A and B are shown apart, each in its own frame.
Chain A
Amino acid sequence: MRSFLTVISFTYRQATRLRSFRISTLLLLVLVVAGIVIPSILAKRAAERAPVNRIVILYDRQAPIPVQTGVMNQIFGGAFEISTGTLAQKSEDLKALHDGKLSGVIVLSGSQRYPYVVNYPTKGATAYWPALLAYFQEMHSVQALKHAGLSASVIRSALGPLTHEQVSIPSSAQPFHSTHYVTTYALEFAIYMFVLLYGMNIMMSVASEKSSRVQELLISSVPTTPLMFGKLVGTCLVGLTQFVLLLAAGFATNQMVGGIPSFHLARILTPEIFMLFVLLFMLGYFQYATLYAAAASLVSRVEEVSASAQPFTTLFVLSFVAGLFTLQMPNAQWATILSFVPLFAPTVLFARVGMATVPVWQVVVSVSLLLTSTIVTGVVAANVYRMGVMFYGKRPSFRQVLGWLRQSR
Chain B
Amino acid sequence: MSLSVEGVTKRFGAECAVENLSFTARSGEPFALLGSNGAGKTTTIRMILGLYPVDQGHIRWNGERLTRKRVKIGYLPEERGLYPKSTVIEQLTYFGVLRDMSARAAVTSAESLLERLQMIEHKGKRVEELSKGNQQKIQLAATLINDPDLIILDEPFSGLDPLNAEMLRDVVTHYAKKGRVILFSSHQMDSVENLCRDMVILRQGKTMVRGTIRDVKKAYGRTRLLVTAEEDVVTRLRVDGVVSIEQAANGIHLTLTDEAVALRVFKILADHNVFVSRFELQEPTLREIFIEKVGGGT
Nearest CB of chain A from residue B236's CB, rounded to whole Å: 54
Instruction: Report how many residues on chain B are interfacial, defined by Cβ distance under 8 Å.
Output: 27
Contact call A221/B99, Cβ cutoff below 8 A: yes
Nearest CB of chain A from residue B59's CB, rounded to whole Å: 15
Contact call A217/B97, Cβ cutoff below 8 A: no
B-facing residues in A1-21 (Cβ within 8 Å): 2-3, 6-7, 10, 14, 17-18
Q: Which residues of B contact A17 (CB under 8 A)?
A: 85
B181 at the interface (CB under 8 A from A): no
A219 at the interface (CB under 8 A from B): yes
Contact call A213/B97, Cβ cutoff below 8 A: no
- Given known pairs A2-B100, A220-B77, A221-B98, the reply for A14 and B46 (CB within 8 Å) is no
Q: Which residues of B contact A218 (CB under 8 A)?
A: 98
**In the complex, what residue of chain A is closest to B145 when comparing beta carbons?**
A221
A212 at the interface (CB under 8 A from B): yes
Q: Which residues of B contact A403 (CB under 8 A)?
A: 13
B249 at the interface (CB under 8 A from A): no
Contact call B77/A10, Cβ cutoff below 8 A: no
CB-CB contacts of B87-101 with A at 8 A, as 1s and 0s? 000000011011110
Q: Which residues of A contact B84 (CB under 8 A)?
A: 212
B-facing residues in A173-224 (Cβ within 8 Å): 209, 212-223
B73 at the interface (CB under 8 A from A): yes
- Given known pairs A2-B100, A6-B97, A390-B51, the reply for A220 and B75 (CB within 8 Å) is yes
B83 at the interface (CB under 8 A from A): yes
Instruction: Please measure, in the bound complex, the distance between the C-alpha atom of A215 and the C-alpha atom of B142, giving whole angstroms.
Output: 13
Contact call B77/A216, Cβ cutoff below 8 A: yes
Q: Which residues of A contact B255 (CB under 8 A)?
A: none
Contact call A18/B85, Cβ cutoff below 8 A: yes
Q: How large is the interface on A (under 10, 10 to 19, 20 to 34, 35 or more residues)?
A: 20 to 34
Contact call A217/B139, Cβ cutoff below 8 A: yes
Q: Which residues of A contact B98 (CB under 8 A)?
A: 3, 6-7, 218, 221-222
Nearest CB of chain B from residue A184's CB, rounded to whole Å: 39
Contact call A214/B46, Cβ cutoff below 8 A: no
Q: Which residues of B contact A6 (CB under 8 A)?
A: 94, 97-98
Instruction: Please measure, in the bound complex, the distance between the C-alpha atom of A221 and the C-alpha atom of B144, giving whole angstroms.
Output: 11
B282 at the interface (CB under 8 A from A): no
Instruction: Please measure, in the bound complex, the distance between the C-alpha atom of A212 and the C-alpha atom of B80, giving whole angstroms.
Output: 7
B86 at the interface (CB under 8 A from A): yes
Instruction: Please measure, in the bound complex, the distance between the C-alpha atom of A278 and the C-alpha atom of B115, giving whole angstroms.
Output: 49
Nearest CB of chain B from residue A5's CB, rounded to whole Å: 9
Instruction: Please measure, in the bound complex, the distance between the C-alpha atom of A263 and the C-alpha atom of B49, giving whole angstroms.
Output: 56
Instruction: Please measure, in the bound complex, the distance between the C-alpha atom of A218 and the C-alpha atom of B77, giving whole angstroms.
Output: 10
Q: Which residues of B contact A18 (CB under 8 A)?
A: 85
Q: Is the interface of B mostly helix, strand, loop or mixed?
A: loop
- Given known pairs A6-B97, A6-B98, A212-B82, the reply for A217 and B51 (CB within 8 Å) is no
Instruction: Please measure, in the bound complex, the distance between the C-alpha atom of A26 and the C-alpha atom of B231, giving whole angstroms.
Output: 83
Nearest CB of chain A from residue B38's CB, rounded to whole Å: 11
A-facing residues in B105-140 (Cβ within 8 Å): 139
Q: Which residues of A contact B100 (CB under 8 A)?
A: 2-3
- Given known pairs A3-B98, A390-B46, the reply for A216 and B142 (CB within 8 Å) is no
Nearest CB of chain B from residue A349's CB, rounded to whole Å: 38
B296 at the interface (CB under 8 A from A): no
- Given known pairs A3-B98, A6-B94, A212-B84, the reply for A217 and B142 (CB within 8 Å) is yes
**In the complex, what residue of chain A is closest to B77 when comparing beta carbons?**
A216
B63 at the interface (CB under 8 A from A): no
Contact call B81/A14, Cβ cutoff below 8 A: no
Nearest CB of chain A from residue B84's CB, rounded to whole Å: 7
Contact call A216/B80, Cβ cutoff below 8 A: yes
Instruction: Please measure, in the bound complex, the distance between the C-alpha atom of A214 and the C-alpha atom of B83, giving whole angstroms.
Output: 7
Contact of B83 among A14, A216, A220, A223 (CB under 8 A): A14
A-facing residues in B1-56 (Cβ within 8 Å): 13, 46, 49, 51-53
B161 at the interface (CB under 8 A from A): no
Q: Which residues of B contact A390 (CB under 8 A)?
A: 46, 51-52
Contact call B81/A221, Cβ cutoff below 8 A: no
Q: Which residues of B contact A222 (CB under 8 A)?
A: 98-99
B232 at the interface (CB under 8 A from A): no
Instruction: Please measure, in the bound complex, the distance between the C-alpha atom of A333 and the C-alpha atom of B92, giving whole angstroms.
Output: 56
Q: Which residues of A contact B143 (CB under 8 A)?
A: 217
Q: Which residues of A contact B81 (CB under 8 A)?
A: 209, 212-217
CB-CB contacts of A113-136 with B at 8 A, as 1s and 0s? 000000000000000000000000
B79 at the interface (CB under 8 A from A): yes
Contact call B46/A217, Cβ cutoff below 8 A: no
**In the complex, what residue of chain A is closest to B42 when comparing beta carbons?**
A390
23 contacts between A and B (CB under 8 A): A3-B98, A6-B94, A6-B97, A10-B94, A14-B83, A14-B86, A18-B85, A212-B81, A212-B82, A212-B83, A213-B79, A215-B81, A216-B75, A216-B79, A217-B81, A217-B142, A217-B143, A220-B73, A221-B95, A221-B98, A223-B68, A390-B51, A403-B13
Interface pairs A-B: 6 shortest CB-CB = A213-B81, A216-B77, A212-B81, A220-B75, A214-B81, A213-B79
